[in-house]
Amino acid sequence: MLYAPQIGDSIDSLDTPSMIVDLDLMESNMSKLFSQLLPTGVSLRPHLKTTKSATLAQKMVAAGAKGGCVAKLSEAEVMCRLGFTDVLITCEVVGAAKVGRLVELFQEYQGVRIVVDSEEGAGAIDAAMGVSGVEGRIATLIDLDVGLHRTGVQAGEPALKLARYVAGLKHLNIIGVQGYEGHLQHVHGLEERKRQCLASMEILTQTAEALRKDGHDIQVVTTGGTGTAEFCVTVPGITEVQPGSFLFMDTDYRNAIGPHKYAQSLTILSTVISKQGPNIITIDAGLKSLTTDSGFAECKTPGYTYGVLGDEHGSLSWEDGKAKELKIGDRVEMIPSHIDPTINLHDVYYAHRNGVIEEIWGVDARGKVQ
């Protein structure tokens, strides 16, 4: 009999490592964020680089979101072909192969939006659109550097110069500006994070207004993430925010914004496979199941310390009297330290309520990094 988990099965029947989602906690996270932000009138365009799932994208739209974001063109290809077509690609589309794929995608799905931060990048897309004979103009946002120094044109004259160039192209239509303050998402302390965020928002909104005065029809001003969206929506001129990690959370965000803001709704179910001493065991979740770029994962049950033992293995250790002794065959839930790349390691979500599998979702855009 082939291993094939089904809706209605207990999570106790799952092989490990498995990625499981507590639906009550996930739905609570969604309700908290949406009920706080939607009444402000600012649109929510959740970032799907976290979930990589068209099903979850549709769930968030049903709750009130307006479309979604993806980081990469290949993610947009997957989402569009699964029926989720209102997508903003938040990273620049650069290179002949990628530009060619963008043109093909736009020919089929007109709802795709892009960002540009250079004349070279914008010009190459426009030229490829012209050669293809595609009709219509692709909705384009000027990507602005608001302090992350990763992508984005500088504010002031460089942004004005780029916008004038793009406005002269036949196949790109400027609809707005994007400014992502990614460097502030994990700043500890609410007031300090808020202070720095509002300074970045001032750069963004002032640039949007300067572009309007220069004759550009700036309708969209998009920004924000899980750590800053609540501040962004208070700024006049911001029209859209892009939180993503709030749905599942991780230890990095928890440590920055506090343990009570959103719940840890996603965990990696793992099995104890070996005992290595009186207070240390080995589990079957290593580097191929849990990422370490934001520190080590944590056991959902307090008292254990996780360590990496290689690609397939991790360890859990504990002090006498501080935690229950784990035995071979026991199962534990591990909380990821960085949710996005952890999800990208897995094929399937098993969504449960009270331990019974209620839904099974594919990680549709797993490995889509182009």
pLDDT value at residue 102: 98
How far, in Å, are 47, 303, 320 from residue 51 at the CA level? Answer: 8, 29, 38
32: left (phi over 0), alpha (psi -120 to 50) or beta: alpha
Strand 356-362 to strand 266-277: parallel, antiparallel, or no bridges (unpaired)? unpaired
- Centroid of chain to Cα 112: 18
Residue-wise pLDDT tens digits, 343-362 = 999 999 999 999 999 999 99
3-class state of residue 13 by DSSP: helix
Q: What domains are there in the chain, each with its CATH number?
A: 11-17+260-362 (2.40.37.20), 26-244 (3.20.20.10)
Strand 240-241 to strand 220-223: parallel, antiparallel, or no bridges (unpaired)? parallel
Beta-carbon neighbour count of residue 52 at 10 Å? 26
pLDDT value at residue 323: 95
Instruction: Using CA atoms of 285, 291, 292, 295 in order, give the dihedral in degrees to the nearest 10.
Output: -90
Contact between 267 and 20 (Cβ < 8 Å):
yes
Residue-wise pLDDT tens digits, 240-275 = 999 999 999 999 999 999 999 999 999 999 999 999
DSSP element (H, E) containing 255: helix 251-257
pLDDT per residue as tens, the chain (370 positions): 799 999 999 999 999 999 999 999 999 999 999 999 999 999 999 999 999 999 999 999 999 999 999 999 999 999 999 999 999 999 999 999 999 999 999 999 999 999 999 999 999 999 999 999 998 999 999 999 999 999 999 999 999 999 999 999 999 999 999 999 999 999 999 999 999 999 999 999 999 999 999 999 999 999 999 999 999 999 999 999 999 999 999 999 999 999 999 999 999 999 999 999 999 999 999 999 999 999 999 999 999 999 999 999 999 999 999 999 999 999 999 999 999 999 999 999 999 999 999 999 999 999 999 9
Distance CA 108, CA 49 (A): 22
pLDDT value at residue 110: 95
The angle at the Cα of 193, spanning 189 to 195, to the nearest 5 degrees, equals: 120
How far, in Å, are 104, 134, 226, 232 from residue 128 at the CA level? Answer: 10, 9, 35, 35
Q: Which residue(s) pair with 21 in the sheet?
A: 266, 351
235: left (phi over 0), alpha (psi -120 to 50) or beta: beta
Q: Token pair for residue 79? A: 């989402």
Distance CA 362, CA 339 (A): 16
pLDDT value at residue 99: 98
Taking Cα atoms as reference points, which of 322, 246, 327, 313 lies closest to residue 283? 313
pLDDT value at residue 221: 98
How far, in Å, are 16, 138, 350 from residue 171 at the CA level? Answer: 49, 6, 43
pLDDT value at residue 8: 98
Q: How is residue 11 annotated by DSSP?
A: G
pLDDT value at residue 106: 98
